[in-house]
Structure 1
């Protein structure tokens, strides 16, 4: 990786008119590359572990508050609801619903 001698930003290797040129996107600096320089790209993959979701027992869900909300799956008009902070703290929490009749779960972004 090379850096611009003028501003210190990272320079990008580009091909212009059959010449290799180091180009700075910030200040516009350009320099023709001498022989012996090559472009190398490296890709790194990160393996993540599987996450197991454990569904709550049907008896525990009855302690959640209920509201009038139409289920998009069966059309029933009553659902349990709860809120989870799924995005950053300065954004509104996500409201989840679970149909009392069929158990379908959906969300509402505030």
Structure 2
């Protein structure tokens, strides 16, 4: 990324040179003929599937399970609503595996 030496705005690539959209300053390309844009193509998408005991890496907290009365549960956060709203906290009891959520 380059910046204009006159007005300090960002320079944009235009046909082998860089040009400032604010003041119009043009800087010719120097050196080798290298591309300013890199494009990569992904043929297949990989989906990670977690199987087995996923609780092994989750943190625990002290919270009371309404199902069995146990005081320890795993917890994790998920963004379920729009990005400007708070995350939803999920809990899973370490004893009976009951799952519930808590909203902030």
TM-score (norm 1): 0.48
Please, which of 32, 38, 52 is the counterpart of residue 57 of structure 1?
52
1:39-54 mapped onto 2 (5 Å cutoff): none
Q: Aligned equivalents of 1:104 and 1:96: distance in 2?
A: 11
1:5 match: none
Alignment size in residue pairs: 56
What are structure 1's unaligned runs of at least 5 residues?
1-53
Q: Is 2:76 aligned against 1:82?
A: yes
2:91 match: 97
1:68 match: 62
Q: Aligned equivalents of 2:52 and 2:74: distance in 1?
A: 14
Q: Aligned equivalents of 1:104 and 1:55: distance in 2?
A: 19
Q: 1:62 to 1:105 in 2, by over 3 A?
A: same
TM-score (norm 2): 0.50
Give the aligned CA root-mean-square deviation in angstroms. 1.6
Q: 1:109 to 1:66 in 2, by over 3 A?
A: same
What are structure 2's unaligned runs of at least 5 residues?
1-48
Which consecutive segments of 4 or more residues in structure 1 shift more than 2 A?
A: none
Report the structure number with the largest CA radius of gyration.
1
